[in-house]
Amino acid sequence: MGFQNQKRSNVIWLVAHNEGDEQYKSAVQQMELKFPLKNTQGTAQRITFEAIPNQKIGVRFYDLKGFSTANLPVHFYVKEGPAYIENGRLIFTKIPPKTKFPVKITVVAWQYGVAGKIQTAEPVEQSFEITK
């Protein structure tokens, strides 16, 4: 996942399908969309991603804060751990019984840039733990 996966990160497959009717027969059209893993042209940018403090079990969410030197929106994904991202908020999922604590979560901040104008920022990782 992320910018480092040469096998999957830069290709999207799309398919369009029409059932057809009395006038037109059914049809299927596939398309492969390739895009660069990183924008390498234009002005460089950097991300500042505030450290996430360790969290106590039972906390439901944490508001993420990331900034780009190009003033572009910073996006996030969960690299590992029991959480997901929704509208810039880290949402913690239920931790199964008998889990060994502490539980590590790693979040990555990224900003793809603008083709030909602003380069892709290097992703920034923050790891923290959920404790009892």
10-residue mean pLDDT profile of the chain (132 residues): values are 61 90 94 84 96 96 97 96 96 94 97 94 96 94
Contact (CB, 8 A) for 10 and 35: yes
How far is C-alpha 112 from the chain's CA centre?
Answer: 11
Residue 33, pLDDT score: 83
Q: Could you tell me if 84 and 78 are in contact, meaning their C-beta atoms sit under 8 angstroms apart? A: yes
d(CA 63, CA 3) in angstroms, rounded, equals 23
Q: For position 6, what pLDDT does the model report?
A: 62
pLDDT score of 41: 93
pLDDT of residue 15: 94
In this prediction, residue 11 carries a pLDDT of 79
What is the three-state SS of the chain?
CCCCCCCCCCEEEEEEEECCCCCCCCEEEEEEEECCCCCCCCECCCEEECCCCCEECCCCEEECCEEECCCCCCEEEEEECCEEEECCEEEECCCCCCCCCCEEEEEEEECCCECCCECCCCCEEEEEEEEC
- Predicted pLDDT at 37: 79
Q: Class of 47-131 per CATH?
A: mainly beta
Domain ranges of the chain: 47-131
